[in-house]
Structure 1
């Protein structure tokens, strides 16, 4: 059976119909693994038992059931019945037409859409400019990011340290995080920059409550304006993540972090001088190959 044809020989490719079914869903990594397996075995998917699909995807059979429920079905039999019964609504690609995008291409295109949406939000630069001024004004700048968001926080902190006199990366949880938040507040911090990406750790919410209790203004780069860790008085800047692969992609949050860096530099009168000093030291030490 051809993997690009629908189970009943209808016009739209089965893989495309599956991708439409999964698109925009908030799935766990295990559930995305099942989704990718179904796309790869699109022609067979409507005829696989839950046990067979679990074996192909390398997951447990209950995970397949939970996957079907996450898609809005009563269980896996209802999902399989849907795949057998849904008719095609678009013609198959004709001679010389481009093939439908595969799962990897769709993930890239979804990220491009996220970046376009971010560009539209930045048509009003006032929230980012206000955040940049707040970041620049804080004598000590703690940057928080746990688990999936730690890479975004680390990237921001790395560059921010070149222009800001006291940047403190907070990317570990537990009692040490609480200690370091207290130390930042005692050192004069009045702002906390937080990167909050799904899945949002419970300990992140606890850390933000501590920061607010210490009088820090929280600026959050989050995947949504409705992120569960956001407080009513926070300055929240949304940037969507991509959900088309087994693990979220965060191109838009990363770019928004760089935009915030630019806005912060605009509020630091000696930012350019600090960058030039760093370049001179780097050249003297031979830090870089180019």
Structure 2
């Protein structure tokens, strides 16, 4: 705050406090010639009379004490522009102290799970309840409360993983985030074969999810024509068989549970406009131990058999 604004605030506060004190003094005193309290001349129904009696002295003094308290409060705490107050109190220092106290409580709660294996965490009901709670607070907004995702947000309960479904890979995703980028190829394909080339490439991508791709290509002219575009533009990321590359986050195009709807229009949109999926990093928010707990919970959603086996070994 600039000095000019600081003095403006100080003057405004002083004016308000002084105005309140003056108004209290002015309205509380009686003056020569004022009518008696019972002589207001306001009478209804013959015997209902309005009085104008002053407040009791103890009440008036209570108001004055309130004003004195307000002045003392503004001296003790910062409330007068840039004046920091004699106590040295700041909201930032108060926030830091509260945060440190709660961080210690969190450390006591979660510290027992530090560096435990994912299998051990997944087999511990209390750890999984904590992981589920962390997921509900930080992940459910995108992936849903059931972790089954939505268009553009992966289903975490199946066996399809764009960046790998091993526990350490999931932990890296939680802590450091991911960015999956599908570049727009519409202008490239349209330059080669017009809009029909986009449709042919999309038809081939859709055909990759069929049970017999060779039979589909023999019977579907559009898909067969689209294969050459896929081979020239898409194999670098998705591979010659369309099974993707987890190192790049390139999805497996042969599975039916896809990140975006498995419709021709949706695939065309992906090819023409591209996609940019972002999983934000949570390292600063959660820390290593809480990140490990939620990663173990996510891993357990698609590895029920593994968690049961781990539980039986304990």
TM-score range (shorter-chain normalised) is under 0.3
Question: Which structure has the bigger radius of gyration?
Answer: 2
The structure richer in helix per residue is 2
- For CA contacts below 8 A with separation 6 or more, give which structure has more relative contact order: 2
TM-score by length of 2: 0.21
TM-score by length of 1: 0.23
